[in-house]
Structure 1
Amino acid sequence: MAMTVKNNPTATLVLGELNKNVSKLGKQLSKVANGQKIVSVGDGTADYSISERMQAQIRSLRQDIDNTKTGRSMLQVAEGGIQGIVDELREMKQLAINAANDSNTDADRATIQKEFDEKLKQIDDIVATTNYNGKLLLNGEYGRWHTAMVTDNPNGSSNIVSTGVIEPSGTPITLASGNHTITTAGVYVLGTGFTGDITIADGLSGVKITQSNSAQLTDVHIIGPTSGNANLWIEGLNIKNTTDQSCIRFSGSDNVLSIKGNNNIDYSSYMASGSVSNEKATINVGGGLTIEGTGTLEMISTHTYSAMIGTDNNEISNADLTINSGTYVLTGTDSRQNVLNSARAGAVIGSGICGSIGDITINGGTFDIFTSGDAAAIGSSMGVSYMINSGLAGGGDITIRNANITAVADGGACIGSGVDNTIGNITIEDSIIHAENKALNHTVLANGIPWLQYLIGSGAGIGSGSYRYYSDGANAGDIVIRNSEIFSSSNRGAGVGSGYKSYAKNITIENVTGQITSIKGEDIGKGLEGGVGTINISGYPEPTLHETSISGTPLKIHTGTKANQRINCYIENLGTKALFNVKTDEELENLANVRTRASAQRLLGSLTDPSVEGPLDKAINYALNEMTQVGSYINRLEQTENTLTVNHENTTSSESTIRDADMAKEMTEYTKSNVLAQAAQSMLAQANQNSSSVLSLLQ
């Protein structure tokens, strides 16, 4: 080896080895200190990814176990309440048997009746006080069915309008991810994790699209035939789209969309950026669309400029939209809680901004609509200057019959026109409307001036949105409301009429019940600084009520890591009226009566047919049935908890196999790395000493 001074290649070589050994020693020290063989993604990308997913699963399972425990505790509270009711009913039967005995006089029975009445009150007290975390459990809120009083249409009009299209059938065809063109009518199932575009070929009618499970799919787009006449059915779709593209898009005229089951379309993660001149409607009506069905369509969208159901931004269209039936929950913001600075310019049902739509006709259905900003919930979008100058209306006529609509809006009307825009005539007949136009947290101040002053509840409840400076009302439509129950309110617009600094034409109200109010405008007529034509009001009959059964909402005990993994627990009403199957206090008093021997015997059953249960036995069996049902829920939750515990243990064990360190092995590796590092350090010192020997030559 040459004796050099300027460079020391031996020391450099040894230094490199020392650095490697020190780095390896640091990794081994980290593994020993953490007790894990995978500390970071660099220790094994695949294993790290699997382990992280397992840890998420472990935490989810741990929460599911807690959920089952709290759910079981909640049901045990209900069980205790029902047991108390059963005890009271047993004692009431004993009192009735006593009262039926002729050893008692009527005076004695009157005394027994007092105790009997107190037992009834005690049962209702148990119902009123049996709660878990403030949730009343025995009042029927979580029963399978509720009995509700609803208003008959005064005209008796309740016919369901339908196109009569036939649901597609046949052997389902499963589609894998990718773009597909459907050329044959039938049923198509979107496979697990499906993403892609589905195009229905021209001339094809009769396609049903569903999915293989309830897991949410991403970026799915359904495109109808360009020739129109589509007969599209959807059932059980759960889609979350992130791009500016319609989820369902029609072309041509005479299209029909039929809804079955529960369907969810989520555009909440889409945020406009850059140019939004072509923002697409979530469901585009094409040249004309009819929507109907027995199912539910739930949609949420942060598309600011297009409609949710209607037309795109910048789409000038006279296509008609008809909705015959179905249930619709439509949220035109990213949430219903925090809408600060969230101003939607496209209607929820209607036209996109800088665009238009034809007539909107609703012949039935239930609607729950929430939107914030400049557009109407049902009607036209926010207007813009070129539309104003050209006299272009944002939409045609709005006709609503036999519908139940709840709508919340801000600057635009709940039903009618958006800010600075127009709509045709508004006709509402035989319907129940709850329209609330209010300030939706638009209170950002700049130099003391509210952000977007034309919002803060400035549209009418039913009528026009705020601001129509350029018009004397000639472009406004008439408002006709007949035979309906109307609850409509506004902050600065009219309850029914014009919005703030806006105009409405003639208003006719006939045979309407409910409540129509405005804080700063007229209840019926002009909004603040607004205008209106003639107003004609006649007839306020009492609504005709009848009973109907509506589906109840169960207690949902979430027991899995997916949205649909839950146990639904139903608990019927255990109040005295429900126990004795009566509707009024008077009926209950007449039935729960032991003041005479005959009335006491009537509570116990039939004198001629021993097989006929009396009201008391029916009440006891009713309560016992609920107790056994609650008991079965508790047993199921116990089994679910056991299963979840086993899953948690096994998943934890599996994750441990991947991630946890074999301490003996890791200590061996650590010792090895430590020795190598020390050896390299010693050799580096020796290599540095080698160069000093050159100095002896210079003496």
Structure 2
Amino acid sequence: MVVQHNLMAMNSNRMLGVTSKSQAKSTEKLSSGYKINRAADDAAGLAISEKMRKQIRGLTQASLNAQDGISAVQTAEGALTEVHDMLQRMNELAVKAGNGTMSETDRQSVQDEIDQLVTEIDRVSETTKFNETYLLKGSGKGKGAGEVSGHIGDVATGKDKLVDGAIAKAKGNIFSGVMDMADSSKMDVGTEDTATITYLDADGNRRTKDVTFKTGADAKGTAKNLADAINDDDDLKKLFKASSDAEGKLSVESKLDGTKTDDTKNAVQSIQFGSLSQSSTAKRYNKFKDMTAAQMTDTTDTEWAKMRTAAVGESYAIEIGSAKDLSDGAAATIAGVLDIKDGNSITINGKTYTFDAGKTDSNANTFKTLEDLQNLLGNDYKVSAQITGTKVVSTYANSTDAPVKVQEMEFSTDIKAAGMKKEITTIVASSDFNETVASTVKADNSSATSFKDLKITITISENASIDKEPDNTNFSLQVGADTTEENKISVDIQSMSAKSLGIDKVSVTGEDSTNADAAVNTIADAIAQVSKQRSALGAIQNRLEHTINNLDNVVENTTSAESAIRDTDMATEMVKYANNNILTQAGQAMLAQANQSNQGVLSLLG
């Protein structure tokens, strides 16, 4: 016999603890009504239950949303009921006025009542609303084109076409890089030179690569060596393909998908490659001395490129094709070029300036490059090259502190430089800008036209003439637990003003029944228009009623499934509770007996 460890008492105490914990959980489940009161009770069941609860509560609110939609539709339809009644009365009066027995005075009396009904129809249209949402007056938004003008420093713009709607954007570049092989570069034949190329790889990451090549005895050899160096580089040859021709002209094009340009175009000496996002485009640029074709950025209908000066006899500009829809596969391509020959002239405000490769004296009114023309004109003008999408032209802008109208500039050949009145975009030939200017235009009552690049921002507030024809009233009803298009029901209500119905100027007055007869037809059209709208509203109401029935059914069945997971089965749990209660009492009794089991040791000590 031992007294230090009473194993019977220890076992009885442990079992009593187990029973007490089980009874406590049963008590918790019976008192709360839930068999999952914490995640530890049923981890997987809790996750499923909470997901179902989200759906249940979302669908319950969606059902209420649909009921609100029915109320809004009923409000609009009820108002149109009165409009219908008023139109029927107007039709009755117009028929009455068409009777030959009516005098001119009688018809005027009829017109007085019609005018009151027209006014009331307008009032109903303007004031009918549900929860502060006007239902019959329309949105009042309009579309149109306006005239904009503005300035920044000595650069001004003229008129642009305002396009209401989505703007085509080129959000990024597949690759970009600059390689210079200008004629003025001096290198010994056979020596090595390094060209640093910055580009974006296929994943859009910016990379820098040094390409080492040997100079040749002439431009042909140098171009071939550089092309071979690009094609031999493990990284660059995955993205680019370089080549040279018998004249020493270098061509570099992207290997990415897209529409290639004409392979007969000349290569460039100073180039920067760019491409539109969403339309992987392989491009090949043309050769221009002292000219950079800047990468394209966000544009509207026409892509933009920035030009610097070019010598007479060399191509001085390129054309970028239009790419309104920048879906996959669409591409902007390089079009033709314009050669400015010796002797061509340009007329500005009646004064003629002549292209002359052999003369550089500005006082003789000749110019060799666009930059010379800039110097000749002085600080009052900025010369710019301009792209319309199909032709290359030139414009200039007066540099005043107020918005100005761009004058017209005309070549003596068949190319004309239209003023900014045309639907055109301008590219700046001056070196004032280091990046391409991008244009975003939207027609609205208070919007602005913005031109942006890394160094400047030009904001041109518009004074657009917009006809404010009322649009329809549109709103969507959220009738699902998720924000997908399938869970939205659109309600479209036309403006029901007298003007929208075509009865704002209806008249039955006159010496004969001519106006009255016309009024009958006009009112009949208005009645048909209101009938069509009421029919549409009735169809929406019926649809919403079916929607509510379906939502309530889903909520009911989902709640039943969630209840089976979460709720306590009271009968089953009560059996467990009663059993645990008996075991608890028995355990307490056995623990008391076990505590007394070692008292027999005292008799040995006596």
TM-score w.r.t. length of structure 1: 0.47
Aligned to 2:517: 601
1:100 aligns with 2:16: no
Are the structure 2 counterparts of residues 231 and 695 from structure 1 closer, same or farther at C-alpha, using a change threshold of 3 Å? farther
Aligned 8 A contact 1:28 1:669 in 2: yes
1:558 maps to amino acid: Q
Q: How does 1:2-81 map to 2 (within 5 A)?
A: 3-81=1-79
For the residues of structure 1 that align with 2:48 and 2:86, how far apart are their CA atoms?
57
Q: Identify which of 586, 591, 601 aligns with 1:679.
A: 586
Secondary structure of the structure 1 residue equivalent to 2:276? strand
Higher relative contact order (CA 8 A, sep 6+): 2
Q: Higher strand share goes to which structure?
A: 1
Secondary structure of the structure 1 residue equivalent to 2:586? helix
Q: How does 1:394-543 map to 2 (within 5 A)?
A: 396=435, 398-400=437-439, 402=441, 423-426=454-457, 462=459, 486-487=460-461, 514=463
Partner deviation per Cα, 1:509-568 (whole Å, 9 max, x = no partner)? xxxx54xxxxxxxxxxxxxxxxxxxxxxxxxxxx5x365989866211100011121101
1:667 aligns with 2:571: no
Aligned 8 A contact 1:127 1:575 in 2: yes
For the residues of structure 2 that align with 1:651 and 1:396, how far apart are their CA atoms?
59
Cα RMSD (Å) of the superposition? Answer: 4.3
Q: Identify which of 623, 626, 631 aligns with 2:533.
A: 626
Aligned 8 A contact 2:136 2:494 in 1: yes
Residue 678 of structure 1: how far off its partner (Å):
1.7
Aligned 8 A contact 1:228 1:253 in 2: no
Aligned 8 A contact 1:231 1:255 in 2: no
Aligned to 2:146: 151
Secondary structure of the structure 2 residue equivalent to 1:556? strand
1:698 maps to amino acid: L
Secondary structure of the structure 2 residue equivalent to 1:74? helix
Gaps of 5+ in 2: 150-157, 171-201, 204-236, 241-252, 260-271, 280-293, 302-320, 327-385, 390-431
Aligned to 2:559: 652
For the residues of structure 2 that align with 1:362 and 1:669, how far apart are their CA atoms?
86
Aligned to 1:84: 82
Secondary structure of the structure 2 residue equivalent to 1:651? helix
Q: Identify which of 573, 592, 605 aligns with 2:495.
A: 573
Are the structure 2 counterparts of residues 134 and 551 from structure 1 closer, same or farther at C-alpha, using a change threshold of 3 Å? closer
For the residues of structure 1 that align with 2:45 and 2:23, how far apart are their CA atoms?
22
For the residues of structure 2 that align with 1:407 and 1:618, how far apart are their CA atoms?
35
Are the structure 2 counterparts of residues 620 and 395 from structure 1 closer, same or farther at C-alpha, using a change threshold of 3 Å? same
1:4 maps to amino acid: V
Aligned 8 A contact 2:36 2:567 in 1: yes
2:98 maps to amino acid: A
Partner deviation per Cα, 1:260-291 (whole Å, 9 max, x = no partner)? xxxxxxxxxxxxxxxxxxxxxxxxxxx95655
Residue 113 of structure 1: how far off its partner (Å):
0.8
Q: Higher helix share goes to which structure?
A: 2
Aligned to 2:480: 560
Number of residue equivalences: 371
2:455 maps to amino acid: G
Partner deviation per Cα, 1:602-634 (whole Å, 9 max, x = no partner)? 112xxxxxxxxx111110000111011111111
1:115 aligns with 2:123: no
Secondary structure of the structure 1 residue equivalent to 2:277? strand
Aligned 8 A contact 2:13 2:591 in 1: yes
Identity %: 28
For the residues of structure 1 that align with 2:548 and 2:499, how far apart are their CA atoms?
36
Structure index of larger Rg = 2
Secondary structure of the structure 2 residue equivalent to 1:10? helix
Are the structure 2 counterparts of residues 325 and 670 from structure 1 closer, same or farther at C-alpha, using a change threshold of 3 Å? farther
Aligned 8 A contact 1:594 1:600 in 2: yes
Q: Identify which of 230, 239, 255 aligns with 2:275.
A: 255
Residue 131 of structure 1: how far off its partner (Å):
0.4
For the residues of structure 1 that align with 2:273 and 2:42, how far apart are their CA atoms?
57
For the residues of structure 2 that align with 1:406 and 1:148, how far apart are their CA atoms?
9
Secondary structure of the structure 2 residue equivalent to 1:148? coil
For the residues of structure 2 that align with 1:579 and 1:151, how far apart are their CA atoms?
28
2:40 maps to amino acid: G
Aligned 8 A contact 1:257 1:291 in 2: no
2:553 maps to amino acid: V
Partner deviation per Cα, 1:69-114 (whole Å, 9 max, x = no partner)? 1111111101111111111100000010111112221111111111
For the residues of structure 1 that align with 2:568 and 2:388, how far apart are their CA atoms?
67
Secondary structure of the structure 2 residue equivalent to 1:151? coil
TM-score w.r.t. length of structure 2: 0.54
Gaps of 5+ in 1: 165-180, 183-200, 205-225, 233-251, 260-286, 295-321, 328-360, 365-392, 418-422, 429-461, 463-485, 488-512, 515-542, 582-587, 605-613
1:52 maps to amino acid: E
